[in-house]
Amino acid sequence: MSDAASEVEAKTTISITIDGDAVEAQPGDNVLQAAMKAGKMIPHYCWHPGLSVAGNCRMCLVFATKAGPPNKPVIACNTQVVEGMEVETKSDRVKAAQEGVMEFLLINHPLDCPVCDQAGECDLQQFSYDYGRETSPFVEEKTQRPRKDLGPLVRFSGNRCIVCTRCVRFCDEVAGSSELSVVNRGEMSWIDTFPGLELDNPLSGCTVDLCPVGALLDRDSIHTTRPWLLRSTNSVCGGCATGCNVNVDTFQDEVKRLTPRENQAVNRWWMCDEGRLSYREAHEARSGVAIDGQEATVLAALERARAILGDLDGGATVAVLGTGFATNEELYLLRHLSSDGPVGLAYRADGPTWTGKDGFTISADKNPNREGARRVFGSSDLAPDDVQSELTAGNVALLIVHDAIPGGAEWSPELVTAAAKAKHRIVISHSPSPFASGADVVFGGLHWTEKDGSFVNGKGRLQRVRAALTESGARVSDVEVLQELAVARGLAPRVLSAAGVFRKLATASPSSFGDATYQRAGDAGVPLPGAEDTVAPEDAHSFYPAGPKSRGHNRANDEQVRGSVHRKSAAGYGTTRGDV
Amino acid sequence: MSAPHTPAPQDAPEGDHPPLTASEKSYLPSIVKGIGITLQRFFKPNFTVQYPEVGPYDYAAQDRAIGEVNPRHRGEHILVKDEQGREKCVACLLCMAACPALCIHIEPEPAPWDDRERRPKVFEIDMLRCIYCGYCEEACPCDAIRLTPKLYTPTTSRTERVYDKERLLENNPEAQVPQRPRK
């Protein structure tokens, strides 16, 4: 090796100029990466940092010195940065090249944005507007390519496909299942599954997020809403212990879809199909509010619960039952309420585990917060046996059941029978619970899409869950109910927000939660002491967010638009109140 | 004309008005005069239009006869049907996005037909909110929504002013409120 070569190798960064601005690039980066890390957008379709370079969309054409013949455009995605390279991305000749590429991409693309679900978050639409030409001299017939369902979650609309092969590479390189391929040649090429195969790998929904145009669409939410109407909330999937970062996209107080949010420490840019559909549980059978089996208002139920707690003796035994779906805050409040009483925890049964080719793992543990329970209670294996024996012995004055598992935890029938021996019983349950019959008070618990709080994923990363559904009607948050109980018992002076509860929790158990705060966890999460995952929040986001580059450009997050006017029915307009 | 709330000058002399005569004090001549005017009206042509049973007065023509509404008048909406009697609307929600009064509510669903992908499951226009600006028909890529010269149809409740899809599809502009023949 020559001296010059070893000198280049020793250098940690490479200095290049992009449009006259000096940019420090990492060795091995391509021009596109270097530009985007420096906050300069180069339009592209086929390139994705999680996939190999294909270089077939030609949208990222730039002029660069030291990259092949002079005065010849090169694709930024497949040009390595070289010391002293000068790149131009905005000059007239680059613009002409981009316009030419856009024109070719749009030759066979139908002008059906009004009926295409991608419209509003479509890179082709956005880049055509930003970099394209207004007109096209193309007068010939556009090709017709098929529309079909590639798998249970993905619909393919051939006419819209620009054959960037992101989906093909995703199935090859991330999912490892290789169902997809480009079939036919030239203008008649499109994406299809191999004969006899279906696009049904556990990550198939990610191909929809990767698709820069509307060729692959989510069958689950197809034709239900428009991207610009969606209100997006940064949250964490409650489907398993992996804790994928997600956007919860809602409209009219209904979750319309979950899409992955980038977190290099957890899920990179992906999420599994099972998690993607887990939002449905938020709208499935829910528990109502009841007093002594009779339907009641939340206020009356709270009043009754306060009275029960207020009448308890100071030394009375309070037993609690919790689940692995409860947030850390709820678990802490349950611990607080039980004082030294018996505690039982239930979990959703383990499911299949799966690991993709790039290391993405679907956890076998289908509880989002088993690790959190371990950190709050010191052990996650608190079987309800203790509670059951105390109940059978008739020692329990108050049993608090907090069942946040959608569909309900699998409580043993003996435990449910024994629960009748408790003097009082308060149930907070997401779904109708076996403990509800004979309970003094029943509260309808929240789904994780409705909650504010935090989960600790299987690798010990504390991540924020945010309430995406704001108007939960007659429900009141679990954290609030539990705190009302604690106040009535004289254990706490007042009701705090979830953040306040977490502060108390972190102060009470510094060995488990360290100096973590909501602020520090932010959108990226923070590793807790002793965690397997040690990626700092600052390093969890790369320069490349998940989803189309144009996602969120046209979102109507305006309170007025989403909240007060676009209602589910005419009865919600407000003008009809007290009418007829 | 002075503003009605202008206070009288503070220094106005008390006896500014001439004293009333005996007949004026009785008010009788004024009452008779007023009743006379009322009686005269009984024998003049009727000015009032029994809207909505009959159509509106044509103010533009300055004519007491009942005129027709200007064909360019922007009145109630219709949803246009195609040759097969289906709604033309593809539920793209662009009218909903264009509407400045936020009076349009649409819920799309996949269409059962081969020739198009989506159609509206719910299409509601709150006519009370609507400002009849016509932006919706301007935004529509399918010519599926139009404003007709059909005038505001009075209702006895507000809920009736929220038109659903069926009503908008059947909202026939020809079925204008009955017009009284021009004299």
**A258-270 residue pLDDT tens:** 999 999 999 999 9
Alpha-carbon radius of gyration of chain A = 28
Query: CB distance B117–A114 less than 8 Å?
Result: no
pLDDT digits (tens, 9 = 90+) for A346-366: 999 999 999 999 999 999 999
Q: Using a CB–CB cutoff of 8 Å, tell me whether A579 touches chain B.
A: yes
User: Cis omega (within 30 of 0) on the bond before B52?
Assistant: yes
Rounded distance between C-alpha atoms, residue A325 and residue A327, angstroms: 6
Instruction: In whole angstroms, give the CA distance from residue A140 to residue A115.
Output: 23
Size of interface A-B (CB pairs under 8 A): 61
In angstroms, rounded to a whole number, what is the distance separating the alpha carbons of residues B14 and B6?
18
Q: Is B109 on the interface with A (CB under 8 A)?
A: yes
Judging contacts by C-beta atoms under 8 Å, the chain B residues touching residue A229 are 93, 96
Q: Where are the alpha helices (DSSP H) in A249-348?
A: 273-276, 298-311, 328-338
When mean pLDDT is compared across A376-390, A476-490, B144-158, the lowest value belongs to B144-158
What number of other Cβ atoms are within 10 A of residue A490's Cβ? 11
CB A240 within 8 A of CB A365: yes
Sheet with A21-25: strands ordered across: A21-25, A14-18, A86-88, A61-64, A74-75
Please tell us whether the domain made up of B77-175 is placed in CATH 3.40.50.720: no
- Predicted TM-score (pTM) of this structure: 0.85
Query: In which band, very low, low, confident or very high, does the pLDDT at A109 lie, cut at 50, 70 and 90?
Result: very high
Largest CA distance in chain B: 90
Residues written for chain B: 183
pLDDT tens, residue by residue, A30-81: 999 999 999 999 999 999 999 999 999 999 999 999 998 888 999 999 999 9
Q: Is B132 exposed, middle or buried (CB count within 10 Å of its CB: 0-12, 13-18, 19+)?
A: middle
Q: Could A115 and B157 be called an inter-chain contact, meaning their C-beta atoms sit closer than 8 Å?
A: no
* Confidence at residue A10, expressed as pLDDT on a 0 to 100 scale: 57
Strands (E) located in A4-90: 14-18, 21-25, 61-64, 74-75, 86-88
Are the beta carbons of A448 and A464 closer than 8 angstroms? no
Strand partners, A323: A346
* One-letter amino acid for residue A391 of the chain: L
Q: How far is B162 from B98, CA to CA, in rounded Å? A: 19
Q: What is the DSSP letter of A512?
A: H
**How close does chain A come to B162, measured CA to CA in Å?**
6
Nearest partner of A437 among A449, A425, A447, judged by Cα: A425
Q: Report yes or no for ipTM above 0.90.
A: no
| Residue B18 distance to chain A (closest CA, Å) | 55
Domains in chain B: boundaries? 23-68, 77-175
Which of A554, A548, A557 is closest to A120 using CA atoms?
A554
Give per-residue pLDDT as tens, A274-283: 999 999 998 8
Give the separation between CA A300 and CA A442, rounded to whole angstroms. 11
Flag if A115 and B109 touch (Cβ within 8 Å): no
Contact A323, A346 (CB under 8 A): yes
The answer for residues whose C-beta is within 8 angstroms of residue B124's C-beta and 6 or more apart is A569, A570, B104, B105, B106, B162, B163, B164, B165
Picking from A222, A567, A576, the nearest residue to B158 by CB comes out as A576
With the C-alpha atoms ordered A106, A108, A112, A113, is the resulting torsion angle positive or negative? Answer: negative
Q: Provide the token pair at A482.
A: 């539990």
Average pLDDT (A148-161) is: 95
Q: Please tell me if residue B98 touches chain A, with a CB cutoff of 8 Å.
A: no
- Find where tokens 């006259």 sit: A20
B121 neighbors B107 (Cβ within 8 angstroms):
yes
- The beta-carbon neighbor of A579 closest among B107, B158, B164 is B158
Q: Which domains, from first to last, does chain A contain? A: 25-105 (3.10.20.740), 114-281+544-579 (3.30.70.20), 289-534 (3.40.50.740)
Question: Average pLDDT for residues A85-97, to the nearest whole number?
Answer: 95
Closest CA to A329 of A138, A492, A212, A103: A492
Of A452, A451, A454, A346, nearest to A402 by C-alpha is A346
Q: Is A427 helix (H, G, I), strand (E, B) or coil?
A: strand
pLDDT in tens, chain B (183 residues): 445 565 555 555 566 788 888 988 999 999 999 999 999 999 988 767 666 666 654 444 444 444 456 777 888 899 998 888 899 999 999 999 899 998 999 999 999 998 888 999 999 999 999 999 999 999 999 999 999 877 777 788 888 889 999 999 988 655 544 444 444
Q: Which residue of A has its CA nearest to B142?
A: A114
Nearest to B102 among A228, A566, A570 (CB): A566
Assign A560 a pLDDT band (cuts: 50, 70, 90): very low
- Rounded to an integer, the average pLDDT of A279-292 is 90
For A125, list phi and psi in degrees, rounded to 5: -65, -45
Q: Which of A114, A561, A569 sits opposite B94 (nearest CB)?
A: A114
d(CA A464, CA A233): 11
Q: Which residues contact B63 (CB under 8 A, 6 or more apart)?
A: none
